[in-house]
Amino acid sequence: LANPTTDDNGDFSVTLNPQDLEDFTNFYIKVTLDNEAVKITDPGYRGRNIYFWKSSVINNLQNSTYDFGTLIMDDTFEIRSVMNMYHWIKEGYDFHLRTIGPIDQLDLIWEDNSTIGTYFDTFMSISSDHIDPDQFDSAIILHEYGHYIMFKNIGFPANSGGYHNLKDPSTVGIAYSEGYAHFISSQIRNESTYLNYKYKSEADNTLDYHGLDLESLELLSTGGGRTSLDNQDHGTMFSDRAKMEGYVAGVLQDLADSVVDGDDVFSGGFNRVNDVVNSSLLNSSVEFYDAFMNTAQDEDQRMLFWAIFEQNRQSFDYEVPTVTLVQLSPTIYTMEASDNVGITRTEWLISDDIVGTDSTIDISSLNLRDGIYDLVARAYDQEGDLRGNMERVAIHGANIIRNKAYGETSVIITPSSSNKPSKFNYFNSLEKPTIDPNMHLKGVLQNSDEDSSKIKTNLIVDIDDNEDIFIDGSIDGAMEMIELIDENGQIVRTIPRLDSYGATKITGLSKGKYTISLKTLEDIVNVPFYINIYTLPSVPNLDFAKMTNKNDLDFENTTNNIVKLIINGQSYTISLEQKITLYFDEGYNNIEYYSTLVNGTYQSDSKKIRIFVDSIVPTVELEEIRYSRGDYYFINFHISEIPSIFRVNGEEQFIGEFLDLHSYIIANPDTYMYTIYLEDSTGNVFEKTFNIESLIEPLKEENSKR
């Protein structure tokens, strides 16, 4: 009748037109989890359903004002779950509205006891494993909302998908993306700790937790355990700093918050940090460091910023000071020193001895004997990097004699005392894939050092019939695509990104020469990558043959690596490089799991063939019949496995990808007999007629009273 929206206190009111109420006197309130902030639905099989709660029916409502009072939702696991997720997403939405501005509605998917995982990928999915129910963890919900905020406002950094955790290095893209999500979660909750709770077991409701304190950079665990991130295997290695999401989260938090913490006496506020994040698509915390340092107003503020970055292991200052000697008089020199961050101290040296620390020195005050000396002016920056400028001078009495024979100025650089390299080397930190000994390595695409003459972006490979290509590697930059080009110059395949969890496989190629070409969105010289190209002979397809038992299979003679299989009297020839082993699997329900069954009967590599023995006939059970609205009813059938053919009374039915409960919709039903026909991909057939009269007549009678 109407669709009011509650205010922030949950209050609502609605006015109904009396003409609309002539046929209605009984009412109820339906609360739907769908508003400007978020829509929460189940995964859906034939369409996703929005979660809702319905109040009890108000009977005989008259033409007057009615106060529903305070509506208390049912205390069920489902209601508690969806309302907690709604609450925290609404908190995140309101935070974004206050600090940044409007943001689109989030699409959130959740289902009780689902283990599909908690992640964000254009929509949010929250896992509901009963041991680790993420729908009750505010930190995790808002962490994923942090990914949503980055996705909507600026986009994800390059190579930001893949496995990660709080204590180990991943990639610079993953660490930057995950660190930002931790930061957003902390800012919305106004808490510096990020905790993930889980039960000890389904039988034991005692809670364990682990997480991170963004202020102290400590890993947290049940019972108050605290371990510094620096104590991890990789924590203090400079090359891994930009790959640690905990360090990234810590520096973002310190730059924004007002907590005085060690060298952190700066309170920039959320917007100052977030404005830099959203200024351009940054691909790592190294790029964020440069961008944020550029916002400093003066040298004092640059030094303050650097101290905060350094405290969180995120300082990446690769510039050394510049020093110029200026002779003010025959005996007085001054040094002009500058640095992109700041100068921390200066030194004058003669014969490697420090003879002064001010910016100006008077040689005559040093009481030097007549002779030729090397006068060195050195300046240090905050990271301990230094640069010296030397001038060779001749001392005669109290005067300095300079002439072209020995008075030319030269520059020297003394190595830093720290273990920091002169430049953050993405190339050295690039993870190179291991070589699989069972595959044929055809070549490598690489830019794995800083020598631009060694960059290799194209590779020509010879492919035999039934040979597959595998592409495995890593890239620390924005990859546009990998193209596979045939001998005629035609692009036959494109790969938009590399698989984070294993090799990317290209199948179905005909014999010939192919060029594999890598394209990047950035200047190729600046993008480190190392990509192995393998090939592996594939096993030819067999037409699917239904087998009722293993005795229906036999061998004929095997010569020259040619194997003949006879299944139910039908002969199949397979050419293999190696000796084969047969595996038998009886009775699988989730047929979509074996993707190779679509075109054949095998799942194999060059060493084995898997024969699927399917003697199980699919079944259908009548689950329920329920009234929808008007004269529409749902007949729910439970199906034991996903069929190839599915008909109801001779009509083909849609088959969902993960279907196990099929809803058949009928209107004003006068037909009570429904014949279900199922056929699986192996030819097993089920057919049964259901009489629904005794089930649907009571529903029709009840509906007629409405």
Q: Using 50, 70 and 90 to split pLDDT, how confident is the model at 147?
A: very high
CA angle, 314 then 319 then 323, to 5°: 140
Show the tokens assigned to 614.
């399917």
Phi, psi of 360 (to 5 degrees): -125, 145
Read off the pLDDT of each residue in 159-181 and give the average, rounded to a whole number.
88
| pLDDT in the model for residue 14 | 82
Structure confidence at residue 673 (pLDDT): 85
Q: List residues bridging with 380 in a β-sheet.
A: 345, 386
Helix boundaries (H) for 261-340? 269-277, 285-293, 299-311
Lookup: tokens for 422: 């002169």
- pLDDT by residue (tens digit) across 237-266? 555 788 889 999 999 999 998 777 776 667
- Quick one: which H or E segment has residue 148? helix 138-153
**Higher local confidence (pLDDT), 706 or 651:** 651
Name 49's bridge partners. Answer: none
Lowest mean pLDDT among 153-157, 560-564, 663-667: 560-564
The reported pLDDT for the residue numbered 164 is 87
Treating both helix axes as pointing N-terminal to C-terminal, what angle do 77-99 and 172-189 enclose, rounded to 10 degrees? 100
Q: Which has the higher per-residue pLDDT, 204 or 500?
A: 204
Give the number of other Cβ atoms within 10 Å of residue 398's Cβ. Answer: 12
Distance from C-alpha of 346 to C-alpha of 354, rounded to nearest angstrom = 10
Query: What is the C-alpha to C-alpha distance for residues 388 and 625, in angstroms, rounded to an integer?
Result: 87
Mean pLDDT of the residues in the chain:
75
Indicate the pLDDT class of residue 175, thresholds 50, 70 and 90: very high
Please give the Cα distance from 392 to 407 (Å, whole number).
5
Q: What is the C-alpha R_g of the chain?
A: 35
Which among 139-148, 205-214, 368-377, 457-466 has the top mean pLDDT?
Answer: 139-148
Query: For residue 419, what pLDDT is reported?
Result: 38
Q: Phi/psi class of residue 266: alpha, beta or left (left: φ > 0; alpha: ψ in -120 to 50)?
A: beta
Comparing CA positions, the residue from 413, 194, 424, 183 lying closest to residue 314 is 424
What tokens were used for 73? Answer: 């939702």
Query: How many whole angstroms separate alpha carbon 80 and alpha carbon 112?
Result: 11
- Condensed to tens digits (0 to 9), the pLDDT of residues 411-463 reads 333 333 333 333 445 455 556 666 666 677 888 888 866 566 678 888 898 88
From 273, 244, 106, select the one nearest 184 (Cα to Cα): 273
- Find where tokens 């206190």 sit: 9
- Please, which residues have CB within 8 angstroms of residue 75's CB and are 6 or more apart in sequence? none
Query: What CA–CA distance (Å, rounded) separates 399 from 657?
Result: 92
Q: What average pLDDT does this structure show over 294-312? A: 90
| pLDDT higher than threshold 70 for residue 393 | no
CA-CA distance, 291 to 88, in Å (whole number)? 31
Whole-angstrom Cα distance, residue 128 to residue 116?
8
The fraction of the chain above a pLDDT of 90, given in percent, is: 18
For residue 568, pLDDT over 90 is answered with: no
Q: Which residues of 208-227 are buried (b: 16+ CB within 10 A; e: fewer)?
A: ebbbbbbbbbbbbeeeeeee
Task: Write out the two tokens for 613.
Answer: 């023995």
pLDDT given at position 543: 40
pLDDT of residue 86 exceeding 90 = yes
Question: Worst-scoring range by mean pLDDT, 162-166, 483-487, 519-523?
Answer: 519-523
Looking at the predicted structure, is the pLDDT value of residue 182 above 90? yes
Predicted pLDDT at 264: 65
Whether residue 125 has pLDDT greater than 70: yes
pLDDT band at 573 (very low <50, low <70, confident <90, very high): low
The residue that leads in pLDDT, 231 or 579, is: 231
The confidence score (pLDDT) of residue 212 equals: 93
Maximum mean pLDDT: which of 187-191, 439-443, 656-660, 688-692: 187-191
Contact assessment for residue 682 and residue 545, using Cβ atoms and an 8 Å cutoff = no
pLDDT at site 150:
94
pLDDT of residue 423: 43
pLDDT per residue as tens digits for the range 469-484: 888 887 765 566 788 9
**Can you give the pTM of this predicted structure?**
0.60
> Under DSSP, is residue 613 helix (H, G, I), strand (E, B) or coil?
strand
Asked whether the predicted pLDDT for residue 95 surpasses 90, the reply is: yes
